[in-house]
Amino acid sequence: MSQKVWKIGVAGLGTVGGGLLQFLSERPEFAPAGGRVVVTGVSARSRSRPRSVDISGLTWFDDPVALATSPETDIFVELVGGSDGPAKAAVEAALKAGKPVVTANKALIAEHGAELAVLAEAAGVPLLFEAAVMGGTPAVKMLREAMVGDEVKGVAGILNGTCNFILSEMEAKGSAFADVLADAQRMGYAEADPTMDVGGFDAAHKVSILAALAFGCAPNFAAAEIEGITGVDALDIRMARDLGYRIRLIASADISAEGVAVRVHPSLVPEGHPLAETRGALNALFIEGARIGRIFIQGPGAGSGPTAAAVAADIADVMTGARRPVFQAPARDLKPFVAVAPTRRVGKAYLRLLVKDQAGVIAAVSETLAECGVSIDSFLQKPVEDAGGVPIVLTTHAIAESVLTDAINRIEKLPAVLERPRLLRIARI
C-alpha cells in the first residue's frame, strides 16, 4: 500500500523555518502514524536572502496567503511571527479554506487565539501551536493532553531564555544590566531591539496561552500584568543573594473564585529551588494539579533544532487525525477571562531603599511601614561602594499589594530617602 504524501507549505524561513526544512528533508517519514511529508511551497520576506537550506526546488510565494490557500498545501505552517499583518491574514485564510495550521507564533495565539479557534473548529481542522511556548519543551501538550484528567490550579515558571540568560550573567559576573544585554546581543541571545524580551511581553504572550489551556478560558493578553527586567540592578541581585534568593523573571497564572491572574514580574526565588537553579537560556515550568500535584519540566525554550522539533510534532499530530478543541474547551464554551485586580494580590515582597547616611532613618522607615500595616520579615543594611547612598533592604510578610504601594508612596516622601523604593515580588512557588 502506498503511503499518503502530505504537502507542507511553510511561511517564514528564519531560524525555525530553516531548521524545519532541514529536518523534513532528512526525515520525510518521521511521523509514527505513517505517511510521508514533502515541503511543496515556501514564503518569506526575501527570496534572495542567503539560507542554510536549498529552496530552489520549491514553489515560491510572495504572498503567504496564496501559499496558505494553494491546492498544493495540505498543512500550512506559519513561522512569520507577529500578532497581525501577514501572519494573521495567512492563518485565517488557511483555516477558512479548511487547511490544518501549525504555528510557532505566540503573539498571534495570545492576542487572537479565541477568534482563530472559532474558525478552526467551524472548519473542523486543527490549529496547533506547541512551538509557541517553551520551544521544544512540551508545555502545551502537557496542558492540552496530559492534564485533561486533572484540574489545573496554576502554572509558574521561566518562559523567556533571553531574560534568564541576562539575569544569570548579572548574577555570575556582577555586571550591570546594560553591559550584559550588549553581550547577549553580540552572542545572538537578544535581538537588536530587545523590548519584547526584556520588557516581559514575550513571556506574557506565552503564559497567556498556558492560562487559556489550563483553565479553559479565552486567552487575554491585554489582561496580563507585565513588568520586565530593565529595572533590575546589579545591587538588587547582590542584596537578594545575601538574603538567600536569586532573581528570575517569573511568569505565572492562577485561578481563584475571583478570576484569573496572569503575571510576569522579576521575582525573588529561594536558592536551591529548581527555578533558581535554572540558568542560562533554559526555560522551566511548574504545573500544579489538584490530583497529580506538582509537575516540573525544563528544557530549551528557543533555537532552530528544539523549536523545529516541536513544529514537526504538531505536523505528526495532524497526520494522525487527532481532534481536540484548540484550547481546553470548544471555542463556544470557553469561559470569559475575568482578571483579578493587581491591587488585591497578597504576597511577600522585597523592598530596597537608598537613603542618606544619618541617624533616625531606619526608625522613620519602620514607623511608616507600621502605620501602613506592613510587617517586616527580614532586614539587611550593608554598605556598598558607589551606591550613591546607603542601601537598606527588607522583606515583608504577606501583604495586599495596594497596602504595599501606599507604604512605598509614603516612604518615598521621607526626607532621608534618595529615590523611590525598589519593589520586587517574592515568588510564591
Q: Identify which of 38, 22, 103 has the alpha carbon closest to the alpha carbon of residue 74.
A: 38
C-alpha cell at 57: 526546488
How many other CB atoms are found less than 10 A from the CB of residue 242?
A: 11
β-strand pairing of 152-158 with 282-289: antiparallel
**Long-range contacts made by residues 385-388, C-beta under 8 angstroms, separation at least 24?**
387/235, 387/354, 388/354, 388/418
* C-alpha angle 80-113-98 in degrees, rounded to nearest 5: 75
Q: How far apart are CA 42 and CA 105, in angstroms?
A: 17
CA dist., res. 237 & res. 170, Å (int): 8
- Rounded distance, CA 43 to CA 58, Å? 10
Annotated catalytic residues are: 206
Q: Which residues pair with 270 in a beta bridge?
A: 245
CA distances from 331 to 33, 84, 120, 337 (A): 27, 20, 9, 13
